[in-house]
Amino acid sequence: MEIDCITQLSALAHENRLAIFRLLVRRYPDAVPAGEIATALNYKANTSSAYLSSLMKAGLITQSRRGNSLLYMANLDGLRGMFRSLLTDCCNNRPDVCLTPEIGDAPKPSPHSPLKVLFVCTANSARSVMAEALLNDLGQGSFQAYSAGTTPGEGPDPAVLNLLSARGHDTSRLSSKSLADFNTGTATQMDFTFTVCNNAANEECPAWPGQPISAHWGMEDPLKAAGNEAEKQLALQQAYGILKQRIQAFIALPYSTLDRISLQQQSDSIGTIETIARSPDQRTLS
């Protein structure tokens, strides 16, 4: 059944429902547990459930089940349908109303003009730091990587620095920085921003100048892995391996043939890479 534009607009007209939808768009293509949504936005479980139900009826989110948990994902096709209704039906195809603002061509890497990429997590002590080091080294000058935290700690975790040094990365310039430092009038303008932890993606994002392509590459915090020292070290190595695969896929994208929409879709897809190929001696993690 086709859902009318009024129902969709009404669902988004409520501040708290809009906050849920914005969170799910930031986490896309993740399917987020209902409990995590309620916790992130500080809503009571029954209240959050009512908001989610309204957004589902409006066709703006989808629901799935994993075990006993209900998970929700932004339905971007539903959002596009609402926009089509507004721009085509309501605006009667008037070009002075319907044309979207020009947001520029898809960015393309070059050693003479490297693409600027910001990796964001909460403390800026592990995942985002590893991603920064990996892209700066693997990008061979065509990319310039940075990292920041929404609530940065005192510095990168020593175990992370030791791992990066063992893998041949220069750690002398790595530090924990505040996300606010990258959202000033004098800050470097980014071409891409990637959140690499769920907590950072759950928070409201700043309005980035230049409209960089943004995607969620969420993964578990390896520093919170349970177990003995060897198991914790393995979790850190696996996180490094997953990030390396994602960044290799990002570098290998056919930038010269992709428009912004295709590049956005490819960036989203890379965030779903979770497996790492391992040989018996783990050398593929290096």
Residue 135 has what pLDDT? 98
213, β-bridge pairs: 192
Which stretches of the chain are assigned E, i.e. beta strand? 32-33, 61-66, 69-74, 115-121, 143-149, 192-195, 213-216
Is 129 in contact with 199 (CB distance < 8 Å)?
no
* CA pair distance 129, 169, nearest whole angstrom: 11
What CATH number does domain 115-285 carry, 1.10.150.120, 2.60.40.10, 3.40.50.2300, 3.40.50.300? 3.40.50.2300
Would residue 271 be called left, alpha or beta, if left means φ above 0 and alpha means ψ between -120 and 50 degrees?
alpha
Could you please state the CATH topology (level 3) that the domain comprising 5-98 is classified under: Arc Repressor Mutant, subunit A (1.10.10)
CA distances from 160 to 125, 194, 231, 235, 257 (A): 8, 19, 15, 11, 36
Burial of 125 (0-12, 13-18, 19+ CB in 10 A): buried
Amino acid in position 144 = Q
Question: How much is the pTM?
Answer: 0.80
Residue 86 has what pLDDT? 76
Please list, in sequence order, all residues whose beta carbon lies within 8 angstroms of the beta carbon of residue 8, skipping any fewer than 6 positions away: 58, 59, 60, 78, 81, 82
Please list, in sequence order, all residues whose beta carbon lies within 8 angstroms of the beta carbon of residue 121, skipping any fewer than 6 positions away: 127, 128, 147, 149, 150, 195, 196, 197, 199, 200
The continuous run of DSSP H or E covering 68 comes out as: none
Gyration radius (Cα) of the chain, Å: 20
DSSP 235-277: HHHHHHHHHHHHHHHHHTS-GGG--HHHHHHHHHHHTT-----
Can you read off the two tokens belonging to residue 151? Answer: 């609530």
Task: Give me the residue spans of the domains in the chain.
Answer: 5-98, 115-285
Is 195 in contact with 169 (CB distance < 8 Å)?
no
Q: What is the pLDDT along the chain (286 residues), one digit of tens a residue?
A: 457 888 999 999 999 999 999 999 999 999 999 999 999 999 999 999 999 999 999 999 999 999 999 999 999 988 888 887 777 666 665 555 555 555 567 888 887 899 999 999 999 999 999 999 999 999 999 999 999 999 999 999 999 999 999 999 999 999 999 999 998 878 889 999 999 999 888 887 666 777 889 999 999 999 999 999 999 999 999 999 999 999 999 999 999 999 988 999 999 999 999 864 443 334 444 4
Residue 187 has what pLDDT? 85
Question: Closest Cα partner for 30 from 78, 71, 79?
Answer: 71
